[in-house]
Amino acid sequence: MRSNIKFLLPLAAMTAFAACSKNDHPAPEAPIKEDPATFAEIGTIDIGEKGAAEISAYDPSTKRLFVVKNDGTNMIKVLDLTDPTKIVDLHKDIFTTGGNVNSVAVSNGKLACAVEAASKNLAGRVEVYNTGTYALIKSVPTGAMPDMVTFSPDGKYILTANEGEPLPDYSADPAGTVSIISVDENYTVKHLDFSGFATQEAALRLKGFRRFGPGSAFGQDIEPEYITVAPDSKTAWVTLQENNAIAKIDLAAKTITEIFPLGFKDYNTDATGIDASDKDNAVEFKKVPVKGMYQPDGIAVLLASGVPYLFTVNEGDVREWDAYAENARVKDLALDPVAFPNAADLKKDGALGRLTVTKTLGDANGDGLYEALYSFGGRSFSVWNGNTGAQVFDSKNELDQKAKEAGIYDDARSDDKSVEPEGIAPGQMGDKTIVFAGMERVDAVAIYDVTNPQAPKFLTIVKTGDAPEGVLFVAAKDSPTKKSLLIVSSEDDGVIKVYSPKS
C-alpha cells in the first residue's frame, strides 16, 4: 500500500506556476521523474588522506559543500558544488580549535559544527557559522564528545548527541547527554542526561538494553550516537549504540520520554544466516547459534499514515579500552556443554571460533560457562515504530547477500561486523521514497525503495571511496543540477563522490 510520506528532509516535489487564466489558481508541476535504480557517479574529489572526508553538509543557497576534515589540522573544508561534475576546492576553509570536528549540519544559511574538547572527557561545543561569509555566529557549550549535530526541520533547534566516552584508562567517564540549543532564544542550551531512567534499568535489561563498564553510574554508561528529528520538529530520537537502544525526546518539553531497547537478532535461521569466519576460505551465509545486538549508528525518520518510522543502520560497536575490553573470540570462551554439546566443533576457526562476541552477555548464572553467544551489530538495516519501539522490518542478511553478488563482500570482516552498515539518508524522488545505506567495510551504498516503509525493496548498490562515513541526499529542488544527488564522503581515503540518476 502506498502511503503519503513526509520526511525530516525537504521533499523533492517542486511547485511552479503554469500558464493559466486570471481566474485559475497556480497548478503544481508534476514531480520530476527519476529512476533511483540508475544512480551513477558524476563527480569526485580527493581532499586528503585518512580522516580527511568524514561528514558533509550541503547549503543550497550558496551551492557549497562543507566537509569535516581531521587529517592533521581540524577544519571544515569548503567545496563549490555549482557543477557537481567539476567539484572545486575554494581554499576558504573554516578552522576550529580544540579536538576533532565530528559532524556538521546546515539550515537557513547557518552551518553548525560539533567540536569535541582537546581532552574528549571535557565539555565540547557547537560552533555556528554563516554559510556565505564564514563568520562565527555563536559558540555554544555541549556535553562531552559531541559526536553528531543536526538541525530540526524548522531550524529552531540544534541538537547534539554527546557520546561521553571514557578515557582509555577509565580515570574519567563523563555522562552521555543530548544538548538542545534554541536558535531563536539566543542559542540558549539545555543538556539532557539519562540518570532519571536508572530506576527502570531492570525492566530495560529484560528487553535487551545493555549497561556495563567499570564502576560507572547509569548516566555515565549511556552513549548517544546519532539523532533524527520528526518533520514537525516536535520529537527527536537518538541511537544509544553501545546500549542497544533508541531514546525518544520531547523537544517542546526538552525531556527524554522513553528508552526503547532493541532486543537481539537470531542468526539461527536461513534468512538471517551469516558468514561467521574469516578463515573458512569461503563466503557462505549459514544459520548459526548466535544472536546479534543491533547497536545502530545512523538513524532517520519518515512519517507514513501518521506513524513515524525509524530507519537504523545496525553497525555494532565494541567497548575496547586499555582498562576494560568486553570483546572475545568464541574459541577463547568456555561454552556450556548443555547449550552447546558440539562446542569443540563450534570453536574451530572455520566455524564460530573466530567470531567476535561480547563477554557481558550469555553467562546468565555467572558460572563462567556461556550458554548463549551475542555478536556486535545486526549486519542489516531495520525499521522501527517510533511511537512504540517495535521492529516492523529488518533486512536480515540481504546486505551481505547483495555485497557478495556485486563481488565486493570482504571475507576478512566476516568474524567481526561484516559489511558494517553505518550511515543512512532518506530522500524523496518523485512519488518514490528512498533510503541510502552506507556500508563501511565493503565501500558501497545500498539503495532501497521504502515507499512502503514496512516492506523496503532493494534497488542497487553503488561503489564509493574507502570506508564511507557520510551519506547525504540532496533533493532535486535544492540541487544545482535540478536532479537528485547522492554525496558520499569516505574517511579512509579522503574521497568525496557525487552520484545522480541517469534517468
Judge whether 55 lies within some domain: yes
What is the tens place of the pLDDT at every residue in 451-493?
999 999 999 999 999 999 999 999 999 999 999 999 999 999 9
Domain of 168?
A: 5-17+49-317+377-501
One-letter amino acid for residue 63 of the chain: K
| Residue found under cell 551504498 | 445
Task: Kindly report the CATH number assigned to the domain that includes residue 207.
Answer: 2.130.10.10
SS (H, E, C) 321-349: CCCCECEEEHHHCCECCCCCCCHHHHCCC
The pTM for the full model equals: 0.94
For the cut 70, the answer to whether the pLDDT of residue 148 exceeds it is: yes
For the cut 50, the answer to whether the pLDDT of residue 20 exceeds it is: no
**pLDDT over 70 percentage in the chain:** 94
Sorted by sequence, the CB contacts under 8 Å of residue 395 that are 6+ apart come out as: 380, 381, 382, 456
For the cut 50, the answer to whether the pLDDT of residue 4 exceeds it is: no
Q: How many domains does the chain have?
A: 1
- Give CA–CA dist 43/485, Å, rounded: 11
Judge whether 247 lies within some domain: yes
Give, as one character, the DSSP assignment of residue 455: S
**Taking Cα atoms as reference points, which of 244, 494, 181 lies closest to residue 389?**
244
Judge whether 335 lies within some domain: no
Pairing of strands 94-95, 74-80: antiparallel
- Give CA–CA dist 124/341, Å, rounded: 51
Judge whether 334 lies within some domain: no
| Residue found under cell 544466516 | 273
Comparing 12-26, 245-259, 279-293, the range with the smallest average pLDDT is: 12-26
Name the pLDDT band for 216 (thresholds 50, 70, 90).
confident
Pairing of strands 391-394, 421-429: unpaired
Name the pLDDT band for 234 (thresholds 50, 70, 90).
very high
Judge whether 301 lies within some domain: yes
| Residue found under cell 550516537 | 225
Judge whether 454 lies within some domain: yes
What is the tens place of the pLDDT at every residue in 113-129?
999 999 999 999 999 99
Find the length of the chain: 503
Mean of all residue pLDDT scores within the chain:
94
- Give CA–CA dist 397/328, Å, rounded: 23
Which phi and psi (to 5°) does residue 114 adopt? -90, 120
Judge whether 451 lies within some domain: yes
Judge whether 37 lies within some domain: no
Name the pLDDT band for 319 (thresholds 50, 70, 90).
very high
One-letter amino acid for residue 76 of the chain: I
3-state helix, strand, coil in the chain (%, to 5): 10, 40, 50
